[in-house]
Structures are given as C-alpha cells and as structure tokens.
Amino acid sequence: GPFVLQRSESEDSIPERARYVLRFRTAGRRSSPWEVVYELHGTDDDKVLDTLRVVAVLHGARER
C-alpha cells in the first residue's frame, strides 16, 4: 500500500481529554514517518464525540 497506519493513545492523554497519535509512513524510496496528534470532541449537547481536533503534526525526519 501507499502507507502504513498505526494509532495509539498519546502519553499525555487523560480520561477527561483523550488524545491519540496517528503514525504513518509514506511509501517509496524516500519514505518518511509522520505523527498526527489529535483529540476527539463533542460540539453540542448530545455528548457524541464527532469532532476531530488536530493538536500537532510532526515529521519524523525533522527535530522536534
């Protein structure tokens, strides 16, 4: 496939604010790792987590 996906809970996740890390690597000779840190939120009173908010986008080849 064009990339590899992996999702895990972020180290700074707390029960009141679940935070996840989506890790993926692009395909090809010059593939590079990426991490997208995100949280899920509800936007109204129905308490459904239906909004994804990106907290950070990190490129593995660059210093963090």
Residue 21 CB neighbour total at 10 angstroms: 19
**pTM for the model:** 0.68
pLDDT at 64: 44
pLDDT tens across 1-53, in order? 555 567 788 888 887 778 888 888 877 777 788 889 998 887 778 878 778 89
pLDDT tens across 41-59, in order? 877 788 787 788 999 998 8
pLDDT at 60: 75
The per-residue pLDDT of the chain, averaged, comes to: 79
User: In this model, does residue 62 exceed pLDDT 70?
Assistant: no
CA gap 38, 49 in Å, rounded: 12
64 bridge partner residues: none
